Amino acid sequence: MKYWLVKQEPKCYPWAQFVHDGHTAWTGVRNFQARNNLRTMRRNDRVFYYHSVTGKCIVGLARVTRGAYGDPTDETGTWSCVDLEPMRPCREPVTLEQIKNAPGLDHLALLRQSRLSVMPVSTEEAIILCKMGGLE
């Protein structure tokens, strides 16, 4: 089981809406590196849900319910998406500032590649993030 982090602006699709919907197709990714990460995802992988721009914090944990398939919002066949389902919210959101200051998280792609919207998280990093967010 691998760990990932996806970014979303809360004004586009907030965690609360995700929870309300119960599941969602993670469509619309139009960046090759992010797409390649999507394609590496497997069912039951865990996904940290990060609110970008407004919020700037991890707000919950989701899981992959369906591995990569063709993004239905893409006519060209170039892009992929996965299906996600919320698991549980953070007891406390993990802020970007906390992440920056936490030992062991300095290699997180979130800090190194600010524009990447789908990125891997190592098991070690995931353990730290779960602890910080009150996620078991």
Among 32, 44, 104, 107, binds DNA (CB under 7 A): 32
User: 1 vs 53, which CB is nearer to DNA?
Assistant: 53
Q: Locate tokens 């992440």: which residue?
A: 99
Residue 4 CA to residue 119 CA, distance in Å, equals 6
36 binds DNA (CB under 7 A): no
User: 65 vs 98, which CB is nearer to DNA?
Assistant: 98
Could you tell me whether strands 118-121 and 80-95 are parallel, antiparallel, or unpaired per DSSP bridges? unpaired
User: 44 vs 54, which CB is nearer to DNA?
Assistant: 54
Cβ 136 to DNA, closest distance in Å? Answer: 25
Tokens of 97: 């500032």
| Ramachandran quadrant class, 123 (left: phi over 0; alpha: psi -120 to 50; beta: rest) | alpha
Contact residues for DNA (CB under 7 A)? 7, 9, 31-33, 52-53, 56, 96-97, 100, 112-117
